[in-house]
Structure 1
Amino acid sequence: MGSCCHHSSPKHKAAGQQHTAGCAPRTEPDLVDAPQADIPSATTASSDSPPDEDSDTVPGLHHWQIQGMDCPSCAAQIETALRRLPGVQSAEVRFATERLEVHWQAPTTRADIEKTIQIAGFDFAASAVVTATEPESRLADRLKGYWDIALLLGLMAIATLVGTQHDGAGGLLFSLATLWGLWPVATRAWRSARSGSPFSIETLMTVAAVGALVLGETAEAAMVLLLFMVGEKLERLAAERARRGVRSLMALVPDTASRVTATGIEQVAAHRLKPGDTIEIHPGARLPVDGTLLSPLAAFDESALTGESMPVDKQQGDRLTAGSLVVDMAVRLRVDSQPGHNAIDRILHLIEQAEANRAPIARFIDNFSRWYTPAMMLAALLVMLVPPLAFAAAWETWVYRGLALLLIGCPCALVISTPAAVTSALAAATRMGVLIKGGAALEQMGKVRTMAFDKTGTLTTGRPELVKLLVSAPFEREQVLQLSANLEAGSHHPLAKALVRAAAREGIVPQHMSHRRTLPGAGIEGEWQGQQLLLCNPAHLPAQSLSELQQARVSALQLEACTLVVLTLDQQVAALFAFRDSLRADAQAGITALQQLDIRCLMLTGDNPTVAARMAGSLGIDFQAGLKPRDKQNTVARLNGQLPLAMVGDGINDAPALRQASVGIAMGQGTDVALDTADAALTHSRLTALADAVRLSRAAHANIRQNIGMALGLKAIFLVTSLTGITGLWLAVLADTGATALVTLNALRLLGHKSRF
């Protein structure tokens, strides 16, 4: 249990790969189209107006950075509190990026807004710079937040031991433990009430604990508070994990850049770069802006943004996106993006948009507590007062029955019913290789009727392999593999690794080759027996180098979605290597299992239609190709509006679509942002686990309905018997405790669910 819904959330793909082999040039889709509206920079979050001495009274649109939010329910609480202020026209909190946006007019001032945020129990940093990374906190600092739980648990343990010898002393110690745990909960309940949310889950817990204390059920009161505090800590850890994911996305953009001027190169802050500036980036560094390549040729690793495993060759005039890593040589580019409008900023903006457009999934207990807690308190009060005042009945009898009603109305069983089932299901899912981030995602998983997949790294392995080797006479297969492996030995390029692996499978060990050097953006060359050896993309060869038959083979292999590399010896073609990113071994089984659950599957990819059609056809699913991140997000939003949809992906460019879907599912080897944006993750990257998760979710939903039915049913029976005097206080205690035990045991059945694969 906790104050809000559970959210959690773990790595960037290869970032510094060396490019030493030619690969087929391809045109990558632009990450996103630049939106017209102003977008906050990935590195700053500040007021639209520069702060000055009159900023407290200047109306308009302002931004704050909020700290201390555990889940979207916290965001809703802040919005509720601020919208009550006179002059506040709108207040929106973006939970993913911790940004608050308020549009206000007089008589409200900035000081009023900040005071309201503090009263609601949250911290803020107005006009602050958001750092991309934060130093790891010391172990003592991390453990400091757990002393309250440790002390409560210690007091309960002591009370239990003492209670075995002296009942009165044990009860007193349990009361002290309850008061210790109750103080911060009751304080937050009071703050919520002052902010316009009087019946929050903190209020529910406070009423339950106080009611149990009044009736002498001190051990039960302490246990409810202990579970509540543990749930809160888990939510806070999950929220901080998500924050780290957003910070890792921001970290892709360097804070400084080398700007080329008439007098030389100067170091400037990245946010000072303007369209038209020329900057220089060295190998191993990332681009701070979107720009146009001015250098003739270069290779760029875009895997952190696109999820594509292979570096991309770019030529002079090609567009480049912020966050891309320069692989093989120093380059110069012309700045194209305005400050705060680069590719990373736009992806952050899309994530915020998707979060804002997505209907919030409130926890059942929060909704239930809005009317249940005040209704039961009012009912108990009426039972105590009405009969004695209206009918001259005995005060002792009806106060006793009112207290029994209050205990019957204690929501312990109901509070336990949902999280007990959710916790059991989440534990079972983890054993199956599926990390589901909380009860809301678990519930939505069972409602999914459409599942959309990214291609590269999701349906495919994301690792190219040699699929065809065409050897030209008089050369032999073993000879060309040996020469190619010699050239590529030690390279980190995905194609180079694939070629060396292919040679190793045939027992070929790479040997040293002299005069080996990389051709930036083209390939690699060396010398063998006094002859020039070249390994490159066919597009880098003169047109007359390939015969008509060889050109026909190149065209045919390209239609088969292959990446091609050609080996030449003294300008004579020796061999043609064809590489392909293959399907995951369990892709077909995973798709079939989902289709058996009446879930429609389709592929959404930025790749070309020929490759997509071949891949989708082999799996028997629908597809849409050539999609940019915004296109993916819009497609997911449209399909999700028809039937609940889950999106499965692994790249940063998938993050907006993952957030837009009813359930976002990230592959375990995916990027930090994809994993932290998603509602679930496949820790072992097994697609067959998706069907297991759907089955488990449906079983958990049924289990929750059973638990609620048992809890309410028992309460209804004993409500009648308590009011009529048939049962007394001790049976009311037994009914409440028994209902709690029943729903817990029923929930534990979910732990028995196992994978079918």
Structure 2
Amino acid sequence: MANELVELNVTGMHCNNCAISVHKLLEKKGLQNVLVNFASEEVKFSTNEQVTVPEVIAAIEGLGYHVIEDATNHHEKFYQKVDNKLIFCAIFTAPLLLHMVLPWHWLHHSTIQLAFCIPVFIVGCLHFGKSAINSLRGGVPNMDVLIMIGSTAAFVYSLVGTIQNLGENYLFYETCATIITLVLLGNLFEKRSVTQTTSAVKDLVKFQQVDARRVIDGEVEVIHATDVKSGDILLINTGDKIPVDGDIIDGDASVDESMLTGESLPVDKKKYDSVIGGTILQSGSIRIVATKVGSHSVLAQIIDLMKRAQAAKPPIQKLGDKVAGIFVPVVILISLLTFGITYYAVGTSMQTALMNAIAVLVISCPCAMGLATPTAVMVGLGRAAKGGVLIKGGDTIEAVANTKYVVFDKTGTLTTGKFKLQDINVLDETPIEKIRGVITAIEERSNHPIAKSLVEQLKPLAKEKVILKTVSEEKGLGMRAMDSDGNNYFLGASKDKIDTAFNLSLYKNQQPVARIAINDDIKPGAANLISELKKLGIKPVLLSGDKTDRCQTVAQALGIEKVHAEKLPDEKLSIIDVYKQKGKTIMIGDGINDAPALTKADVGVSMNDASQIAIQSARVILLNTDLNSLLFFMRVSKHTLITIKQNLFWAFAYNVVAIPLAACGFMSPMLGAFTMAFSDVVVIGNSLRLKVKNLR
């Protein structure tokens, strides 16, 4: 049970303050790897020996939130829905407001007003009260504390006036009811808006919720995608969503992979090609063998990455969190000072002093500060994902700001990686068929673009099959292997400085047996990318393990002035460190030898067809092959950061202006409740603009 990762679905968290309460609670219990996302209603943590999951669930529910089994099948009860609570409260609040304009004297009667107010006050206590009390227990008082103090003060003051028959100057039932009703309206808008910010993840989850046709002994049975097991044979026809990752064993097809790569053009697939769960079969009929199912599938891993990215806090959020954490006690103190100064020092009436104090409570909005960063990050990450860019952490967005250098690997990054075999120069008596067989057998075990291209071109020509006992890849050097006869081979970068046409050398038992000449083309869009980076004041750098002359050729064609060639992984690491000291550095690469440098850079960017190690090391993955998606990622990051700053400015400015106005009596509690409710909506609305904003 130790160190098991637990994921819970928790409802009832309406803003980042709620998430902070849950986060602090779990940390106090000594749990590790805590991630709390109020928008997706998810809580993750690693268990320890001292605390059981039922204990954690009980503690979370003790804070006033609800832990549910399955979020997809969860349906709120009628009386739990915010919109139903709002309608109920609005029905009783309307007469209390209308009594101020209608001539019906019975509406002015204190007991009638009390009767209309009590149902609304009870709903308010049930909706806000439990959360307020438990947030105080947890040491992170939330907005509900302010709402409850304000509405309760108005209700109790009015109740005392009714019991003692002190007259209509002591009746503020409409203030109590209107505060609760308007804040419920704000909660409804907030809930619907926040749901939109997480739509990117929810759209991806929908791709998983499909049926599959499993073939057993020639019979076809329909099962849910979650019931597919690795090794199952599945039949997929035109128009179907591919249920899981797999390899085609029969048929040809055209597959729409836009949900993964953002590219609209379908991809042709044939026998032995891989397909990804969630993509759509546009035409054709295929049978596949399931290879990756459940949490191991590409789609499941992307969803998990996005959820974790949304929960990762950028440094700019820490300011908002700190202020939100101390905000409620400060506002309560300002409210008490407002009452004391207005009543005792200025000498106004008890009613005026109380209304000013209540207005201070209900106009204040810590939620706007709590929502400012996470909502913008969620929308930004979703916009990037739909454009074929997977960002692993919300903090990555801020790391891109003020980038000074973008360091490129050459092979497979700036060049196509589709290498053309020019020539094989045999250096001893070994038959060419044997050479082809050895090269093919060795390179089949590598993910490097050169290896893939050599296998594709040599496999049909390799007549003599070579059986290898062991194969290992050495970062930045090449491949070592031993065949069934005990011969040792090394295939790697050529050490020949005289004839640079030959890129690779094959050694057998430490003796050179062949040299291989290959070349590749520059990627379409690479020149445009370098040009755009220069316009942004960013310096492009080429860092490669390839020969100097070939690196210089590519650099000159693209306009890159700084070139570091023939570098091993540890040397790449040192060079990245030098650039980091000069300014923010992005590294983009795709091979195993790039992995350390990708980790070392401020932001590591990997291509989708890169080695698994490179993808794991990078913080950003470009899911399509278009290099200009790097520019798209940088634009999304820039505009997300702008949106965060706009949101934080509004949240701070709103409170800085509104609280003094309320304290001085220029805003009534009802107007305060109305503006407070909509301050959240303004922040969320500004974040949602990112979905459609022109990023150029």
- Shorter-normalised TM-score: what interval? 0.5 to 0.7
Write the deviation string for residues 630-661 of structure 1: whole angstroms up to 9, x where unpaired.
Answer: 55445434433332222333456655544443
Q: Which amino acid aligns with 2:69?
A: K
- Aligned mate of 2:48, from 121, 124, 130: 124
| 2:530 aligned to which of 577, 584, 591 | 591
Counterpart of 1:562 (choices 493, 499, 503) is 503
SS at match of 2:419: strand
Residues 445 and 556 of structure 1: CA distance in aligned 2, closer, same or farther (over 3 Å) = same
**Which residue pairs with 2:692 in the alignment?**
752
Please state whether the residue corresponding to 2:624 is helix, strand or coil: coil
TM-score (norm 2): 0.53
For the residue of structure 1 that corresponds to 2:542, the secondary structure is strand
Equivalent in the alignment of 1:380: 335
Distance 1:580 1:96 in 2: 49
Query: Tell me, what secondary structure is at the counterpart of 1:412?
Result: helix
Secondary structure class of the residue paired with 1:469: strand
Aligned equivalents of 2:381, 2:320: Cα separation in 1: 18
**TM-score normalized by structure 1?**
0.49
* CA-to-aligned-CA distance 1:554-587 (integer Å, 9 cap, x gap): 8665x24623579xxxxxx9x9752245544333
Find the residue that maps to 1:417 and give its secondary structure: helix
Give the deviation of 1:706 after TM superposition: 3.3
The answer for the alignment partner of 1:466 in structure 2 is 420
Alignment partner, residue 81 of structure 2: 155
Partner of 1:547: none
Report deviation, 1:698. Answer: 2.6
The CA deviation at 1:605 is 4.0
Counterpart for residue 144 of structure 1: 69
Contact preservation (8 Å) 2:314, 2:396:
no
Q: Which amino acid aligns with 2:82?
A: M
Structure 2 unaligned residues grouped into runs of 5+: 9-15, 36-44, 51-66, 94-116, 153-178, 203-312, 427-431, 472-479, 484-488, 508-512
Match of 1:732 among 669, 672, 676: 672
The correspondence for 2:541, drawn from 602, 617, 636, is 602
**Out of 126, 135, 150, which is 1:176 matched to?**
126
**1:307-366 deviation line (CA, Å, top 9, x unaligned):** xxxxxxxxxxxxxxxxxxxxxxxxxxxxxxxxxxxxxxxxxxxxxxxxxxx996653421
Q: Please state how far the C-alpha of 1:428 moved relative to its aligned partner.
A: 2.4
Match of 2:404 among 449, 462, 471: 449
CA–CA separation in structure 1 for the residues paired with 2:22 and 2:521: 43
Q: Does the aligned pair in 1 maintain the 2:3–2:46 contact within 8 Å?
A: no
Please say if residues 587 and 597 of structure 2, whose CA atoms lie closer than 8 Å, have aligned partners that are also in contact.
yes
Which letter maps to 1:492? E
Give the corresponding residue for 1:419.
374
Cα distance in 2 for partners of 1:233, 1:152 equals 23
Deviation at 1:81, TM superposition (A): 7.8
How far residue 151 of structure 1 moved from its aligned partner, in angstroms, is 4.2
Local SS of the residue matching 1:363: helix
Q: Which runs of 5+ in 1 are unaligned?
A: 1-63, 83-90, 98-120, 127-141, 191-201, 238-357, 473-479, 505-509, 526-535, 540-550, 567-572
Query: What per-residue deviation string (whole Å, max 9, x for no partner) do you get for residues 261-318 of structure 1?
Result: xxxxxxxxxxxxxxxxxxxxxxxxxxxxxxxxxxxxxxxxxxxxxxxxxxxxxxxxxx
Shift of 1:401: 0.9
CA distance in 2, matches of 1:638, 1:75: 41
3-state SS in 2 of match to 1:665 = strand
The equivalent residue for 2:364 is 409
Is contact 1:363-1:440 (8 Å) kept?
no
1:404 Cα deviation (Å)?
A: 0.8
- What is the aligned counterpart of 2:444 among 488, 492, 513? 492
Residue correspondence of structure 1 range 287-302 to structure 2 within 5 A: none
Amino acid at match of 2:126: L
Q: 8 Å contact 1:67–1:124 — kept in the other structure?
A: no
Output the amino acid matched with 1:695. Answer: R
Which of 322, 333, 352 is the equivalent residue of 1:397?
Answer: 352
1:74, 1:638 → 2: CA distance? 41
Task: Select the residue among 540, 559, 571 that pairs with 1:620.
Answer: 559
Within a 5 Å distance, the mapping from 1:62-73 to structure 2 comes to none
Tell me, yes or no, if the aligned pair for 1:446 and 1:695 is still in contact at 8 Å. no
Query: What is the alpha-carbon distance in structure 2 between the residues aligned to residue 96 and residue 675 of structure 1?
Result: 24
Q: Distance in 2 between matches of 1:584 and 1:149?
A: 48
C-alpha distance in 1, partners of 2:82/2:554?
59
Residues 324 and 369, structure 2, Cα contact 8 Å, conserved in 1: no
Q: Distance in 1 between matches of 2:76 and 2:608?
A: 37
Q: Structure 1 369/400 Cα, relative in aligned 2: closer, same or farther at 3 Å? A: same
Task: Using CA pairs under 8 Å that are at least 6 residues apart, name the structure with larger relative contact order, 1 or 2.
Answer: 1
How many angstroms does 1:175 deviate by? 5.2
Shift of 1:146: 4.0
Q: 1:433 to 1:152 in 2, by over 3 A?
A: farther
Q: Secondary structure at the match of 2:401?
A: helix
Cα pair distance change 1:448/1:466, threshold 3 Å: same
Structure 2 counterpart of 1:369, from 307, 320, 324: 324
How far off is 1:158 after superposition? Answer: 3.9
Are 2:440 and 2:458, in contact at CA under 8 Å, matched by a contact in 1?
Answer: no
How many angstroms apart in 1 are the aligned matches of 2:194 and 2:46? Answer: 18
Counterpart of 1:725 in 2: which secondary structure? coil
CA gap of 1:148–1:364, structure 2 versus 1, over 3 A, is: farther
**Cα contact 1:432–1:755 (8 A) shared by 2:** no
Structure 2 match to 1:37: none
Deviation at 1:405, TM superposition (A): 1.1
Alpha-carbon offset, residue 73 of structure 1: 9.7
Answer yes or no: is the 8 Å Cα contact 1:608–1:625 preserved in 2: yes
The residue type equivalent to 2:369 in the other structure is L
Structure 2 counterpart SS, 1:687: coil
Kindly indicate whether residue 644 of structure 2 is the aligned counterpart of residue 689 of structure 1: no
Q: How far is 1:704 from its partner?
A: 3.4
Q: Which amino acid aligns with 2:365?
A: C
Name the CA distance, whole Å, in 2 between partners of 1:165 and 1:601: 64
Question: Within 5 A, what are the aligned runs for 1:118-267?
Answer: 123-124=47-48, 144=69, 146=71, 151=76, 155-160=81-86, 162=88, 173=123, 176-178=126-128, 189-190=138-139, 202-204=140-142, 207=145, 210=148, 215-216=179-180, 217-219=182-184, 222=187
Compared CA separation, residues 429 and 207, structure 1 to 2 (3 A): farther
Deviation at 1:379, TM superposition (A): 1.1
CA distance in 2, matches of 1:486, 1:675: 29
**Hey, what's the Cα distance between the residues in 2 that align with 1:362 and 1:391?**
40
Contact residue 555 and residue 563 of structure 2 kept, 8 A: yes
Q: Distance in 2 between matches of 1:66 and 1:603?
A: 43
User: Following TM superposition, by how much is the alpha carbon of 1:67 offset from its aligned partner in structure 2, in angstroms?
Assistant: 6.5
- 8 Å CA contact 2:404, 2:585 repeated in 1: yes
Q: Deviations over 1:484-526 (max 9, x none)?
A: 699969993667863574489xxxxx4895x64447789999x
Deviations 1:61-96 (A, max 9, x none): xxx9697799999999799989xxxxxxxx9x9969
Q: Which amino acid aligns with 2:584?
A: P
For 2:606 and 2:21, the matched residues in 1 are separated by 25
Q: Percent identity?
A: 22
Q: What is the DSSP-based 3-state SS (H/G/I as helix, E as strand, rest coil) of the residue aligned with 1:700?
A: helix
Give SS of 2:586's match: strand
Q: Which among 696, 699, 723 is matched to residue 663 of structure 2? A: 723
Q: Is the 8 A contact 1:606 1:628 kept in 2?
A: yes
Per-residue CA deviation, residues 168-189 of structure 1 (Å, 9 max, x unaligned), is 76775565344576677666x3
Aligned length: 475
Separation in 1, partners of 2:6, 2:134:
15
1:67 and 1:402, CA in 2 relative to 1: closer, same or farther beyond 3 A? farther
Q: Distance in 1 between matches of 2:193 and 2:632?
A: 29
How far apart are 1:599 and its partner, in Å?
0.9
